[in-house]
Amino acid sequence: MKVRVRFAPSPTGFLHIGGARTALFNWLYARHTGGTFILRIEDTDAARNTQEAVDVILDGLRWLGLHWDEGPLTGEATGPCKGERGPYFQSQRRENYQRRVEALLARDLAYEHDGAIRFRMTREPIMIPDLVVGNVTRELTDREKLEPDFILIRSDGQPVFHFVNVVDDLDMGITHVIRGEDHLSNTAKHVALFRAFGVEPPKYAHIPLILNIDGTKMSKRDKGASLTTYVEEGYAPEAVVNYLCLLGWSPKQNREKLPIREVIELFDLPQILRHNARFDINKLHWLNGEYVREMDRDRYYELAVHALARIGIDTNKFPLDYIKAALDTCKEKIKLFSEVKIFADFYFKDAVDFETDPATEFPPEVRSRLARLREAFAASPAFDAATLEKTLKAVVVELGIKSGLLVHPVRMAATGRPVGPGLYQLLEVLGRDRVLARLDRVLKI
């Protein structure tokens, strides 16, 4: 039987990083088995669902590269979808729920109470077979013993999550339910519902949750809980995906960075770890740097230019060769694309922004040294990195000082920052005119 898995998020306006990982694991399993990855939007709560909220999910999955085989093509609930088992929005599946609840009512497996429809839940413990956790026997909690039956359809006619979730999985032919462990306890209800419909439930795989670094649960408000954070802070999607793979799953062999192609080959449900993982931004940061350094140049330029645009720098005003040369000096240095602000903004500004007071940054003795260097730079026969280095070192010898006393002030004068790309490389890219102008500005203090 062909594997059919689904990611079924509720459009809340953001895509939780844990949800992204759930989607990833579903996608990986589908790709590993040659199965079908389905995206279903659980928009039963019409009041707070908007097309924009759905778009956040679609955009997030697309950004991660988790393309679905069946599901919506746009965020519009009545819009186009692909796949034969639609609609893929729960708000469009009302007849299915109605038909299913009537079947239950007809066999007295459900009943009306106070205008709502309840399911006759078994009083016996239910065994949940789980590919990750093993066989779990769920007994009723004391509250449930008081009232084991649960609502299927609210008195306002709206079906509830447990019901629509099961009906859709059934109608869509879902074979494996891969979801967060927060659903494990409730799976007893789902198993009972499947049996009431006369079918065996799909295989379950409850994956551990992602917690904050301090072990607390990641709520909407926690920084880093939303996938958007990583998009905005300049992470590369392939790095985020790779990092997410490492949370609750391991490729073994002491491997950390590996292409998704290999993950697809190695990934399987029984090997998923059973304990929760904490999200360590440090490791993602490191991994992202690895990806940036090994990234294809054109993709790197594209992402870097995009990051510059985010901070209001329009690179279109500059020649392509200049942009590329400037970004080349940063490729081995930055770990995050948001770092282009520190490492490259000065290439694209008319004047440097000093973070500290230029007057104290460039006291008279520093200025006199810079003045000498300016002369040497102006007279230099060429303006390439190697020549610049020779020229600067000659001035250092002439002045009888340590090179740091000249190197640091030039960097500061040219870029406005104490850190950045290699000095001689950046001076070469900036070019003689800009460099002399920036030195002149400092000398006029």
Partner RNA sequence: GACCCUAUCGUCUAGCGGUUAGGACACCGCCCUUUCACGGCGGCGGCACGGGUUCGAUUCCCGUUAGGGUCGCCA
- Hey, which residues between 228 and 257 contact RNA (CB under 7 A)? 246-250, 252, 254, 256
Each as own residue / partner, the long-range contacts of residues 277-281 (CB below 8 Å, 24 or more positions apart, any chain) are: 277/208, 277/209, 277/210, 277/211, 277/247, 277/248, 278/210, 278/211, 278/212, 278/213, 278/214, 278/215, 279/17, 279/210, 279/211, 279/212, 279/213, 279/218, 279/224, 279/247, 280/213, 281/213, 281/224
Residue 15 near residue 41 (C-beta atoms within 8 A): no
**Residue number with CB closer to RNA (35 or 196):** 196
**Residue number with CB closer to RNA (244 or 308):** 244
**Residue number with CB closer to RNA (109 or 287):** 287
* Catalytic option among 2, 220, 283, 393: 220
- Residues touching RNA: how many (CB under 7 A)? 81
Q: Does 111 bind RNA (CB under 7 A)?
A: no
Give me the least distance between CB of 316 and RNA, in Å please: 27
220 noted as active-site residue: yes
Give me the least distance between CB of 246 and RNA, in Å please: 4
| Token code pair at residue 58 | 């679609």
Identify the helix (H) or strand (E) that includes residue 116: strand 116-119
Q: Does 183 bind RNA (CB under 7 A)?
A: yes
SS3 content of the chain, % helix, strand, coil (to 5): 50, 10, 40
**Residue number with CB closer to RNA (45 or 59):** 45
Q: Does 289 bind RNA (CB under 7 A)?
A: yes
Give me the least distance between CB of 69 and RNA, in Å please: 22
Q: Does 293 bind RNA (CB under 7 A)?
A: yes
Residue 11 near residue 50 (C-beta atoms within 8 A): yes
- Among 144, 171, 233, 268, the residue binding RNA under the rule CB under 7 A is 144
| Token code pair at residue 176 | 């494996």
Q: Does 143 bind RNA (CB under 7 A)?
A: yes
- Among 103, 136, 231, 376, the residue binding RNA under the rule CB under 7 A is 136
Q: Does 294 bind RNA (CB under 7 A)?
A: no
Interaction residues for RNA, span 63-102 (CB under 7 A)? none
Q: Determine how many CB atoms are found less than 10 A away from the CB of residue 174.
A: 24
